[in-house]
Chain A
Amino acid sequence: MQKTTGNLFNILLVGILLTAGLYWCSQYSYLLFHSLAELFSIVIAAGIFMLAWNARTILKNEYLLLLGIAYLFVGAQDLIHTLAYKGMGVFPGYDANLPTQLWISARYTESLSLLAAPLLFTRSVKAPLLLAVYAVITLLLLGAIFTGTFPDCFVEGSGLTPFKKGSEYLISLILLGSFAMLRGNRHRFEPCVYRLLAASIFLTIGSELAFTFYVSVYGLSNLVGHLFKLVSFFLIYKAIIETGLKQPYQLLFRELQQKEAKLERTVHELQRSNEDLEQFAYIASHDLQEPLRMVSSFVQLLSRQYKGRLDEKADEFISYAVEGAAHMQNLLHGLLEFSRVGSGERKPSVIPLHEPLDQALRNLESAIESSRADISYGELPTVCANGTQMVQVFQNLIGNAIKFRGDSPPVVHVAAEQRGDEWVILVRDNGIGINPKHADRIFLIFNRLHRKGAYPGTGVGLAICKKIVERQGGKLWVESAEGEGAAFYFSIPVTGEYHEQQTIPCG
């Protein structure tokens, strides 16, 4: 903001100095003033073209590209106008009519270009074609002027012709129209570019009106007209600089920004709907437990109190109902546990990984004893994780290793290895293994590889492990072959240095 103000101040200062200098020149020699003022605007017109032409791929604004090309030819006509000016003596045999005609033709070119430019918002024209069209039009205009077919604009003695005066008004009207067109398309411009263009158009109108007043080509209104014109060119130049150089981001990436914002909104919505879903799963599984417990309890009561008092079929039906209710209870319990991962989650803390492992082994004590499992572990790192959830992961993985054992007692080994910026924890067993083609399925909730009854469980454990590990920024995968045991790996990011045994928040 401050920078813009500073720039504006600099521009104003240069403008005032320039105006003062030009005014001083005009006092000394009007011809010098005219030549300098015109040359300044011609230089700017050339600059406009150069900029627009070279920035045409990033301009992405056909309006400004057309202006860039148009101003080259406006500048060219202005150059000839300057050379033809009264007192220059470059074109002998022509009077003040010639520069005035050239002036008018340049202004028509300028104003009609401003009027036509917005049309390019709806269709795209190749830049070289535009260049060629302008070259042809300019040559035709010059031809008409020099061969005398162009209407007279100035007659020595009687001053400006009605054609010239009418043209100035017409040009002013065209410019007003071009402003209206610009205004209608203002959403396509950065606000500051729009203001620059609008100011340029109004200065051009001011310049035109100033010229309708003059009687002598050396008069005051002529001076004001030229100054306005100079500034109006400069403003176009600024607009193209702003658009093609200074603010290529705003224009080039405005769409990108909008897309980005849209993407962000989508991500946000997704996150919310995901949270809603988790919340829903939690509430549903929680609230469904209650009525299910009733169903289950009373069918069990029924089976207990009426067994043998009904017929055999009734007993069978009741036993199916009891089984079904029990299974559904397990599923709901699993769903509840799964959806609870992440809800009301505690902050991770720095923990030595053997702590949750030891806890998991204590929880599995009876299973370990009854299966005569041999469980060992190597050195484990200190990581940043949620302790309770790590217990769940170890308990599920080791519990599975024991559950899916082969004929011999289970042998489970836990080890850790640092790979790059993460720890990879391995839980290896000598169980029945997993066919690699099913390796992905086992991590999906409620997915089981074995028929009901072969192995107990609901197919939630690994889904929970995966969710926990992924929420902590790691991955969970398995390497195994049928009958050859399984090796489950999960990774945890290494995050900085830890002090042993400290339970401080991290991550």
Chain B
Amino acid sequence: MSNRQYRAVEILLVEDNPGDVYLIREALRDSKIHNALHVAEDGEEAMAYLMRQGDYTEVHRPDLVLLDLNLPKKDGYEVLNEIKNDEKLKDIPVVILTTSHTEEDILKSYRLHANCYITKPVDFNQFIKVVRSIEDFWFSIVKLPSYPDNVH
């Protein structure tokens, strides 16, 4: 907890829709928690970011992943599966943030060890509220493991 007061929380948003990226950025802008939002536009980019490969060798390990399911190249399930099967990454909380509210998607996500599943609210205000709640919940209420190597 004390670590986090000295640095921004790192959020990796895996989302291919620029509109949603904008809305999430908008929702997080006025947040009382100092955050750094990074965006990966497809599954492969997300994995490269998490593995610190290619352009991402210097990036910080995210504290939270916001993951859409419907993604180009590598879909959300694959990304989720790879994160949760990677010893170094599996403890990063992954929040599924998607349009789908079908039971199959919900069940499949939790079976792959998603930390929580949220359907993007269709109502704008609700959407903003939900994004803020995610941030509030994961960074003010939940206690997460700390990573000294992540502090700069």
Say whether B99 faces chain A, with CB atoms less than 8 Å apart.
yes
Docked CA distance A333–B123 (Å): 12
- Decide if B120 is an interface residue (CB 8 Å cutoff): yes
Which A residues are CB-close (under 8 A) to B120? 293
Q: For the complex, what is the distance from the CA of A293 to the CA of B120, rounded to whole Å?
A: 9
- Of B100, B102, B127, which one neighbours A297 at CB under 8 angstroms? B127
* CB of A329 within 8 Å of the partner chain: yes
B97 CB, min distance to chain A CBs, angstroms: 12
Bitwise interface map of B from 104 to 142 toward A, beta carbon under 8 Å scored 1, else 0: 100000000000000010111101000000000000000
A293 touches B122 (CB 8 A): yes
Q: In the complex, what's the smallest C-beta–C-beta distance from A228 to chain B, in angstroms?
A: 75
Given A293-B99, A297-B19, A298-B19, the answer on whether A329 and B104 have CB atoms closer than 8 Å is no
Q: Which residue of A has the minimal Cβ distance to B18?
A: A294
Please, which residues of chain A bring their CB within 8 A of the CB of B125? 300
B17 at the A/B interface (Cβ < 8 Å)?
yes
- Determine if B89 is an interface residue (Cβ-Cβ < 8 Å): no
A378 in the interface (beta carbon within 8 A): no
Q: Is the CB–CB distance between B124 and A301 below 8 Å?
A: yes
A90 to B19, CA, bound (A): 113
Task: Give B6-48 interface residues, CB cut-off 8 Å to A.
Answer: 17, 19-20, 23, 26
Known: A301-B26, A344-B104. A294 touches B19 (CB 8 A): yes
Chain B residues whose CB sits within 8 angstroms of the CB of A301 once the complex forms: 23, 26, 124
B87 to chain A, nearest CB (A): 35
A389 at the binding interface (Cβ < 8 Å): no
| Cα–Cα distance between A71 and B60 once the two chains are bound (Å) | 103
B75 to chain A, nearest CB (A): 15
Determine if A290 is an interface residue (Cβ-Cβ < 8 Å): yes
Q: In the bound complex, how far is the Cα of B106 from the Cα of A344, in angstroms?
A: 14
Find out whether the CB atom of A297 lies under 8 angstroms from the CB atom of B124. yes
Residues of A within 8 A of B20 (CB): 294
Q: Is the CB of A300 within 8 A of B122?
A: no
Given contacts A300-B124, A301-B26, A301-B124, contact A294 B17 (CB under 8 A): yes
A333–B19 CB distance below 8 A? no
Across-interface contacts of B103 in A (CB, < 8 A): 344
A113 within 8 A of partner (CB): no
For residue A292, which residue of chain B has the nearest CB? B122
What are the 5 closest A-B residue pairs judged by CB atoms, nearest first? A300-B124, A294-B19, A297-B124, A329-B122, A293-B122
| B-binding residues in A (CB < 8 A) | 286, 289-290, 292-294, 296-298, 300-301, 304, 326, 329, 333, 340, 344
Q: Other than A294-B19, A294-B20, give 20 A-B pairs with Cβ distance below 8 A.
A: A286-B99, A286-B100, A290-B99, A292-B122, A293-B120, A293-B122, A296-B124, A297-B19, A297-B23, A297-B124, A297-B127, A298-B19, A301-B23, A301-B124, A304-B124, A326-B123, A329-B122, A333-B122, A340-B102, A344-B104
Write 25 A-B pairs (CB below 8 A) sorted by A numbering: A286-B99, A286-B100, A289-B99, A289-B122, A290-B17, A290-B99, A292-B122, A293-B99, A293-B120, A294-B17, A294-B20, A296-B124, A297-B23, A297-B124, A298-B19, A300-B124, A300-B125, A301-B23, A301-B26, A301-B124, A326-B123, A333-B122, A344-B102, A344-B103, A344-B104
